[in-house]
Amino acid sequence: MKISACMLLSLALLSLNAQAARIKDVASVEGVRSNQLVGYGLVVGLPGTGEQSPFTEQSFKTMLSNFGINLPAGMKSQIKNVAAVAVHAELPAFAKPGQAIDVTVSSVGSSKGLRGGTLLQTFLKGLDGQIYAVAQGSLVVSGLGAEGADGSRVVVNTPTVGRIPNGAMVEREVPSPFAQGDYITFNLNRGDFTTAKNLAAAINGFIGDETARTLDARSVQVRAPRDIDQRVSYLATLENLTFEPASDSAKIIINSRTGTIVIGKDVRLFPAAVTHGGMTVTIAENPTVSQPNALADGETVVVPNTIIDVRPDRSRMFKFDPGVTLDELVSTVNAVGAAPGDLMAILEALKEAGAIHGELVVI
């Protein structure tokens, strides 16, 4: 199989950055982000797949006491349909009280599965310890586990993790700095000085000089109106503004597990000479039997007979001139009949010799 098709596809993919992009596709607004929430709760109603652990029992007794039910001292509750779980969710930016968000529920004990269970009211807290949402509802579990009487077990996916779509109600809004100050800041998804400069230039060219200025390779600060309605309209206009991001740095990415090679369009080679080829060594064992004459007083023995065959392949040498491009590299390697695995070894050798103008990344 020729390498050119794979390489040209990689070239096409990596050259997309050179096209115009909207600001909203390459940057985010500082302060406008989601927040992580986490909580601890109980899942009940399990079909015998719960757990009997000390912390689950303690949590179960605490839940009962909240409803005014106190178990006798020293009594050990037999709970096989209850599991202790960790609950986490992402609280989107500007989420308001009364809106619903999805939650993920994961077993923290020895439960064999959460299928068929229901999460009881669980408080979800932020980093500041405040409660921002309350989760409750029936779990949707894609995993399945089955166990036989002889101890054999079959597990499909992960039965100890489930989700509750719209399973948490937002109770508190997270304060956002979006409406504060005289500026908004765009943070680039990929830090690059050239991209930051081009983004600021595009905004200044559209709004006016000294509207935007770069803070570093990732952040661009933009003057914005204080009125919140005007600020929203202003940002809606800016985020759809197109500009030319910088192209990616010269880079070669090699996936050593799959043999996939991606070469950026800006990769160049310094002068170098490469020889490709080797030899094939075949070792075969052909033992022979030595049989003595009928009247001879001898023994039958097996005599080893090893055959070693060395066949040199046709080694070819090719030369790279200064500034060789991707197309020339692929054509040259194809001319000597090298496979993608051979190309990987050639590229690593060229990098070791300092003949590649670009970064070589092996994953």
Per-residue pLDDT for 6 more than 50? Answer: no
Domain range holding 297?
A: 251-362
Beta strands in 113-218 (DSSP E): 118-125, 131-138, 144-147, 153-156, 161-170, 183-188, 212-214
Per-residue pLDDT for 206 more than 60? Answer: yes
Residue 323 belongs to some domain of the structure = yes
pTM: 0.65
Which of 152 and 228 is assigned the larger pLDDT? 228
Q: What does the pLDDT read at residue 164?
A: 94
Same domain, 286 and 346: yes
Which of 227 and 17 is assigned the larger pLDDT? 227
Which of 159 and 284 is assigned the larger pLDDT? 159
Span 194-223, average pLDDT: 93
CB contact at 8 A, 217 and 193: yes
**CATH number of domain containing 233:** 3.30.1360
Q: What does the pLDDT read at residue 266?
A: 66
Same domain, 54 and 69: yes
Token digits of residue 249: 């740095």
Amino acid of residue 135: A
Residue 145 belongs to some domain of the structure = yes
Span 326-354, average pLDDT: 65
Q: What does the pLDDT read at residue 81?
A: 87
Residue 2 belongs to some domain of the structure = no
Distance CA 302, CA 204 (A): 90
Kindly state the helix (H) or strand (E) to which residue 66 belongs, with its residue range. Answer: helix 54-66
Which of 165 and 143 is assigned the larger pLDDT? 165
Distance CA 162, CA 116 (A): 10
Distance CA 253, CA 261 (A): 6
Span 35-48, average pLDDT: 92
Nearest CA-CA partner of 267 in 204, 214, 343: 343
Distance CA 104, CA 124 (A): 11
Which of 193 and 337 is assigned the larger pLDDT? 193
HSE (CB half, 13 Å, CA atoms) of 24? Answer: 8
Per-residue pLDDT for 272 more than 90? Answer: no
Same domain, 124 and 228: no
Per-residue pLDDT for 274 more than 80? Answer: no
Q: What does the pLDDT read at residue 132?
A: 96
Same domain, 26 and 43: no
Same domain, 215 and 138: no
Per-residue pLDDT for 362 more than 60? Answer: yes
Same domain, 44 and 149: yes
Span 312-326, average pLDDT: 58
Span 326-333, average pLDDT: 64
Query: Average pLDDT over the chain, rounded to whole?
Result: 78
Same domain, 287 and 238: no
Which of 243, 267, 285 is the C-terminal boundary of a domain?
A: 243
Residue 110 belongs to some domain of the structure = yes
Distance CA 361, CA 363 (A): 6
φ, ψ of residue 64 to 5 degrees: the values are -65, -40
Same domain, 55 and 152: yes
282-285-286 Cα angle (round to 5): 125
Span 160-167, average pLDDT: 93
Q: What is the pLDDT of residues 76-113, one digit of tens each?
A: 666 788 999 999 999 999 999 999 999 999 999 888 88
Residue 198 belongs to some domain of the structure = yes
Q: Residue 216 — pLDDT band, cuts 50, 70, 90?
A: very high
Amino acid of residue 224: A
Q: What does the pLDDT read at residue 101?
A: 95
Nearest CA-CA partner of 242 in 18, 26, 22: 22
Residue 10 belongs to some domain of the structure = no
Same domain, 47 and 153: yes
Per-residue pLDDT for 210 more than 70? Answer: yes
Span 303-324, average pLDDT: 58
Same domain, 43 and 149: yes
Residue 47 belongs to some domain of the structure = yes
Span 149-170, average pLDDT: 78
CB contact at 8 A, 34 and 180: no
Same domain, 188 and 162: no
Which of 148, 170, 192 is the C-terminal boundary of a domain?
A: 170
Which range is least confidently modeled, 99-108, 111-120, 256-265?
256-265
Residue 356 belongs to some domain of the structure = yes
Report the domain count for the chain.
3
Q: What does the pLDDT read at residue 2?
A: 41
Q: What does the pLDDT read at residue 57?
A: 79
Which of 300 and 95 is assigned the larger pLDDT? 95
Same domain, 57 and 182: no
Which of 243, 259, 288 is the C-terminal boundary of a domain?
A: 243
Nearest CA-CA partner of 101 in 52, 17, 32, 37: 37
